Amino acid sequence: MKCIGFVGLGNMGGPMAGNLVNAGYEVKVFDLVTNLMSAVAGGTPQATAADTAKGIDVFISMLPAGRHVDALYNGEDGIIHQCDPGTLLIDCSTIDPATAQKVAAAAFDCDLNMLDAPVSGGTAGADAGTLTFMVGGKREALEQARAVLEVMGGNVFHAGDCGAGQVAKVCNNMLLAIQMVGTAEALALGVDNGLDAGVLSEIMKQSSGGNWPLNVYNPYPGVMADVPAARGYSGGFLVDLMTKDLGLAMETADQSRSSVPMGALAKNLFRVHEQLHGAGRLDFSSIQWLYKPELKS
């Protein structure tokens, strides 16, 4: 049986580690917040991240941002200096591609293979084990990781070399943000002109404007059950996380000198929304309020 070290047991990492335990893996867990370790039933809490890295086959991290990942792997007591030879490293956090490449290069210098494997699917996907993994790194390393990744998610894509998983993730989330803003704008225009948001949504779903938010994540309250718009935009994918991902998309575009006017506009609209409505901890579909502020009350 494979032994796995898992660091970062927050909203995403906790249920991901839990699914690995349920699949029969021995999982050593660590988080700076102690009670998150005992929340992973069947996991073995560790005193430090370094302890998590010893005597394992696969090390997985799920952390907030690039600086945390760099410090965890590449710092003075970094994981790349603690692991046994042959340990496979997988970072599932959403971070900038440049840091992912830098940390992977440092791991290779220590004869360790590392994958960047950010995810899509949110906390619901983490709970259900249905995440999509976008993987950057050596194909052989991905094949070595595949069985473990498939416990946490059904779709595992090889995007390319180190950092490519993170590039795929920022492209996807930039497109998602643009689609959500455009959908909220079109729905507001229809309602302002006397249409019912549900009727308009059905028409657009079956027409050339159809898209993912319309199909499964409608931002207009009253159109769909079991989505954040149906519960005051609580839960779901936070505005704070979307603005973080759009920031990563802007950084990535700067590095490649790519022009991303739609992404930049979407980022600024989410920023205005966050500040105007104190919406950072609401689901990102609450961008509907920017177009229909009366929905807030």
Binding site for ligand NAD (CB under 6 A): 7-13, 30-33, 36, 49, 62-64, 68, 72, 93-94, 119, 122-123, 237, 241
Rg for the chain (alpha carbons), in Å? Answer: 20
CB of 241 to ligand NAD, least distance (A): 5
What is the signed CA dihedral for 280, 283, 288, 294, rounded to 10 degrees?
-70
CB of 16 to ligand NAD, least distance (A): 9
Pair 127, 97: CB distance under 8 Å: no
Q: Which of 92, 91, 121 shows the shortest CA–CA distance to 104?
A: 91
Please give the Cα distance from 7 to 225 (Å, whole number): 35
In this complex, which beta carbon is closest to ligand NAD, that of residue 137 or of residue 153? 153
In this complex, which beta carbon is closest to ligand NAD, that of residue 7 or of residue 89? 7
In this complex, which beta carbon is closest to ligand NAD, that of residue 30 or of residue 233? 30
- Active-site annotation holder among 169, 244, 267, 292: 169
The string of DSSP letters for 185-209 reads: HHHHHHHHTT--HHHHHHHHHTSTT
Pair 117, 90: CB distance under 8 Å: yes
Q: How many CB atoms lie within 10 A of CB 207?
A: 9
- Select the residue whose beta carbon is closest to ligand NAD and give its number: 10
Reply yes or no on whether 54 is catalytic. no
CB of 186 to ligand NAD, least distance (A): 25
Between CA 44 and CA 116, with CA 21 as vertex, the angle to 5 degrees is 95
In this complex, which beta carbon is closest to ligand NAD, that of residue 9 or of residue 159? 9
CB of 259 to ligand NAD, least distance (A): 25
Positions marked active-site: 169
